[in-house]
Structures are given as structure tokens and as C-alpha cells.
């Protein structure tokens, strides 16, 4: 069942107009809009509790430290982690992925070891592994994308066929940010762990849209960003199993992550503090906590069903637009709440500009996934992406605008 339109009233920005018409925001895969609960939480922290966490004994410092601990516990519960010590705060998915690459993989991989990725990856889950491979002599192997960006036949079996005795890590996007393909995360984790490989899931496009349980999935690492999860920008999460954390080194060194320092040496703290040098963004983490509580109140299963219905509606309506190519799986159940498309003979940027004139916000370009677009034989695409506040009439507005764009260029 489609979520209530009343939810939109929780998001102040959705009431504004663009180019003289009501905003139709279909760019949630780039960043999600923020409910008042998140805005109020951040403002309240700055107005009532602002201080540096873990740096003082006065009341405000204690309140800030408590807020940081509460945020860590909220994320732990949200992901189903065994303990809050498995939750590391970062600046976003990109930093989380680089932390695993630089802090865990680089010191452990040897020449000839293998890292298995997919052709769906965002550049943030590709470039760090390219560098690790160059510097260690490790080999990158890739699960190929299927036709039009859909899954290949029997994807778990195809992945298993790529795994060998030298496979050390399998890293993949849970949902493709470019074409929306939903990868079978639990099956991939099972296949990797059967070969003794560690698993990293890029959940940037799934954490806000699908129920997640890291223990049920069986992954070693999982990363996501707050800003795609209705939360503030500039903060993210890395889930890292305790056993893997013990094998990791930090990306950054400085205050807050040391046990004892001398002029010629230092010893580091254990647990997440080891990887969180410097002042923590407590205001943003307070906002992330509020975002998680908001999502939990709505229910991730309800969010998933809402977006599945919207995606099904979009697929059906966009197939009726002449000369429009839609990428990704043909079935809404096999994708996240986004779809990419091109209108024949029209540059994606031009099509996005036409849609913007109607107040419809979409993304155009290669979506930080150039290899996948190259595989599809295109330079870029237009992407419409949905969230819990998206309504069916906005899908209808997109479809009508595309019909009109086709008539205009033909």
C-alpha cells in the first residue's frame, strides 16, 4: 500500500515551488530530503547541548558524549549488529570503503590474491580497490552485469564461479545506484564465506529503503551515508565485525583515538574510537539518530513496499513513452526505488533540463558508474529515484513530461 501523502508534510522543502510549479523531487538516490524531526534534532543539539564529545567533564560535554553513545547504539540496533563497538562513524560511504581498503585490505593482500567486485559498482567501490591492487599485486575480478543492467542468470552461481582459493574479499553494491539492480546480498555473502573470503556491502542505496540485518546477511563490513537516509550530510557509518576491526589500521591519526602518546611513539585505543580521530560530528549524528527513528516508525518493510509500487508504476508508464530506453531489471521486485532511462536523440543533460522546467528534479550523467554505462553502450543516462515521500502523481508527472519532451523533439 502506498504510504500516506501526509508524510510529505514532515518534509518542509517539498512544499516549495521550482520555476513557478510545485517541486517534484525525484533525486533521492543522490540525497534524501530531511523531515522536521531531523532538522529539529540538529538545531536542538546546537541550541542546548553543543560541546566536544569526550573532551570535557562539564555538563555540556557530558551531554554531547552521551549523545554520541546514543547515536552509536541507535545505529547498532538499526543494523542488528552484535554490539555498538562494531559501529564506526565516518564522513560517508566513500570514507568507509576507503577505510576498509587502506586500513584492512592493503596490509593483508599479497600478489596474486583476488578481490571480486561487480560491474555495477559506484566509483567509490572501485577506485579504492584499483589502488590496493596496484600497490599489492592483487587481482581484480568482476561479476558481469546482465543485459540492460539487469542481473545475469543465476547470479549467485555466477559469483561462486569467480571465487577461488586466492579470493580474499568480495565487495559489492547492494543496489546499483546507476540502474537500480538489487543484488542478492545474502546469497553473495554465503558464497563468499563458503570460500573463506571476507564480504563488504556498499549499502548506500539500500540502508534507507530495505530492512537490513548484518548478522543475518553474514557480511564482515557494511557502509552507508546518513544523507541518503533522511539524515544530515557529511557523516556515515562503517559496520565492521569485531574480528575484522582487530585486523584494521586507522586512516587518520590524531586526538581522540590514542591511549598513550610519547614523543617517539603512541598506542591506539581499541574499538571504534581507534578509527575516529578528531572531533566527532555529534550534531550530524544526532540528526542521523532522529532519521533512523523516523524510518523505524514508518517501518522499512512499508518503505520497501511503497517504493516497489512506485517503481512498478514508473516502469509501466515509461514503457509507453516512444523512443525511451529504460535500463535495469524489468521487474520492480528486482530493483531498488530508482530507474535510469534515455530518450533517443536527446542528451541526458538536455532531458534533465527540460524536466527541471516542469519542476521535476532528476539526475543526469554517468552517476559515478562509468564502467557500467560503457557496458551498456551509453555515455550517460537520466535517473529518477524515489523515497518514502514520493507520491504516485509525481510518477505520472514524470511520464507526462517525457511524452511532452518526445513530442517536442520529434
Percent of the chain with pLDDT over 70: 100
Among residues 247, 273, 296, the one where a domain terminates is 296
Q: Does residue 380 fall inside a structural domain?
A: yes
Residues 167 and 211 both lie in one domain:
yes
**SS3 for the chain, per residue?**
CCCCHHHHHHCHHHHCEECCEECEECECCCCCCCCHHHHHHHHHHHHHHCCCCCCCCCHHHHHHHHHHHHHHHHHHHHHCCCCHHHEEEECCHHHHHHHHHHHHHHHHCCCCCEEEEECCCCHHHCHHHHHHHHHHCCEEEEECCCHHHCCCCCHHHHHHHHCCCCEEEEEEECECCCCCEECCHHHHHHHHHHCCCEEEEECCCCCCCCCCCHHHHCCCEEEEEHHHHCCCCCCEEEEECHHHHCCCCCCCCCCCCEEEECCCCEEECCCHHHHCCCCCCHHHHHHHHHHHHHHHHHCHHHHHHHHHHHHHHHHHHHCCCCCEEEECCCCHHHECCEEEEEECCCCHHHHHHHHHHCCEECEEECCCCHHHHHHHCCCCEEEEECCCCCCHHHHHHHHHHHHHHHHHHC
Share of the chain above pLDDT 90, in %: 97
Domain total of the chain = 2
Annotated active-site positions, please? Answer: 368
Domain span at residue 383 reads 5-26+299-409
Q: Are residues 18 and 57 in the same domain?
A: no
* Residue 193 within any structural domain of the chain: yes
Whether residue 215 sits in one domain with residue 67 = yes
What pLDDT digit, counting tens, does each position of 324-383 carry?
999 999 999 999 999 999 999 999 999 999 999 999 999 999 999 999 999 999 999 999
Q: Residue 163: pLDDT above 80?
A: yes
**What pLDDT is stored for residue 409 in this prediction?**
86
Q: Are strands 167-173 and 338-343 parallel, antiparallel or unpaired?
A: unpaired
pLDDT of residue 377: 97
384 and 276 both lie in a single domain:
no
Per-residue pLDDT at 1: 52
Alpha carbon distance 403, 79 (integer Å) = 41
Of the pLDDT bands very low, low, confident and very high (cuts 50, 70, 90), residue 119 is very high
pTM for the model stands at 0.97
In a domain, 230, yes or no: yes
Q: Is residue 223 part of a domain?
A: yes
One domain for residues 340 and 253: no
213 and 360 inside one domain? no
CA neighbor of 385 nearest in space, from 320, 328, 345: 328
Specify if 107 maps to a domain: yes
> What's the CATH number where 65 sits?
3.40.640.10
- Whether 363 is covered by a domain: the verdict is yes
User: 350 with 284, same domain?
Assistant: no
Last residue of a domain, one of 248, 279, 296: 296
Shared domain for 239 and 388, answered yes or no, is: no
- Read off the pLDDT of residues 288-329 as tens digits, 9 standing for 90 and up: 999 999 999 999 999 999 999 999 999 999 999 999 999 999
Question: Does residue 31 form part of some domain?
Answer: no
Residue 144 has pLDDT above 60, yes or no: yes
Look at residue 6 in the predicted model and tell me its pLDDT. 87
Give a yes or no: residue 261 inside a domain. yes
Asked which of 274, 296, 318 is the last residue of a domain, the reply is 296
Which whole number is the average pLDDT over 4-29? 94
Task: Note whether 46 and 128 are same-domain residues.
Answer: yes
Mean pLDDT (whole number) for 136-143: 98
If asked whether residues 361 and 396 sit together in one domain, one would say yes
State the pLDDT at residue 2: 66
Residues 286 and 333 both lie in one domain: no
Question: 313 and 275 share a domain?
Answer: no
Amino acid at each position: 500500500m502506498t504510504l500516506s501523502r501526509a508524510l510529505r508534510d514532515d518534509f518542509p522543502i517539498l512544499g516549495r515551488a521550482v520555476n513557478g510549479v510545485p517541486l517534484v523531487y525525484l533525486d533521492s538516490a543522490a540525497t534524501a530530503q530531511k523531515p522536521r524531526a531531523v532538522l529539529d534534532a540538529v538545531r536542538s543539539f546546537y541550541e542546548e547541548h553543543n560541546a566536544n564529545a569526550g573532551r570535557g567533564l562539564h555538563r555540556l560535554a557530558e551531554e554531547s558524549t552521551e549523545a554520541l553513545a546514543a547515536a552509536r547504539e541507535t545505529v547498532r540496533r538499526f543494523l542488528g549488529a552484535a554490539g555498538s563497538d562494531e559501529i564506526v562513524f565516518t564522513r560517508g560511504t566513500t570514507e568507509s570503503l576507503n577505510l576498509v581498503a587502506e586500513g584492512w585490505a592493503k596490509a593483508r593482500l599479497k600478489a596474486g590474491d583476488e578481490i571480486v567486485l561487480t560491474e555495477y559498482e559506484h566509483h567509490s567501490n572501485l577506485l579504492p580497490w584499483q589502488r590496493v591492487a596496484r600497490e599489492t599485486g592483487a587481482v581484480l575480478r568482476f561479476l558481469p552485469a546482465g543485459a540492460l543492467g539487469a542481473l545475469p542468470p543465476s547470479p549467485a552461481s555466477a559469483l561462486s564461479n569467480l571465487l577461488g582459493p586466492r579470493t580474499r574479499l568480495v565487495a559489492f553494491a547492494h543496489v546499483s545506484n546507476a540502474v537500480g539492480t538489487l543484488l542478492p546480498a545474502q546469497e553473495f555473502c554465503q558464497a563468499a564465506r563458503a570460500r573463506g573470503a571476507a564480504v563488504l556491502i556498499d549499502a548506500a542505496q539500500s540502508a534507507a529503503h530495505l530492512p537490513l540485518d548484518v548478522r543475518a546477511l553474514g557480511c564482515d563490513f557494511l557502509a552507508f551515508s546518513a544523507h541518503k537516509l533522511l539524515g544530515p550530510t557529511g557523516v556515515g557509518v562503517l559496520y565492521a565485525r569485531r574480528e575484522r576491526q582487530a585486523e584494521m589500521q586507522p586512516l587518520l591519526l590524531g586526538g581522540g583515538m590514542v591511549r598513550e602518546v610519547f614523543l617517539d611513539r603512541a598506542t591506539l585505543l581499541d574499538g571504534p574510537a581507534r578509527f575516529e580521530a578528531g572531533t566527532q560530528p555529534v550534531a550530524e549524528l544526532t540528526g542521523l539518530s532522529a532519521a533512523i527513528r523516523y524510518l523505524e516508525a514508518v517501518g522499512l518493510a512499508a518503505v520497501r513496499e511503497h517504493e516497489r509500487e512506485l517503481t512498478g508504476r514508473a516502469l509501466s508508464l515509461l514503457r509507453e513513452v516512444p523512443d525511451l530506453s529504460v535500463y535495469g531489471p524489468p521487474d520492480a521486485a528486482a530493483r531498488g526505488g530508482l530507474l535510469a532511462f534515455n530518450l533517443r536523440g536527446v542528451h541526458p543533460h538536455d532531458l534533465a533540463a527540460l524536466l527541471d522546467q516542469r519542476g521535476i528534479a532528476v539526475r543526469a550523467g554517468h552517476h559515478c558508474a562509468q564502467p557500467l554505462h560503457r557496458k551498456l553502450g551509453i555515455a550517460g543516462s537520466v535517473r529518477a529515484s524515489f523515497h518514502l515521500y514520493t507520491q504516485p502523481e509525481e510518477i505520472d508527472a514524470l511520464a507526462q513530461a517525457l511524452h511532452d519532451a518526445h513530442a517536442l523533439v520529434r
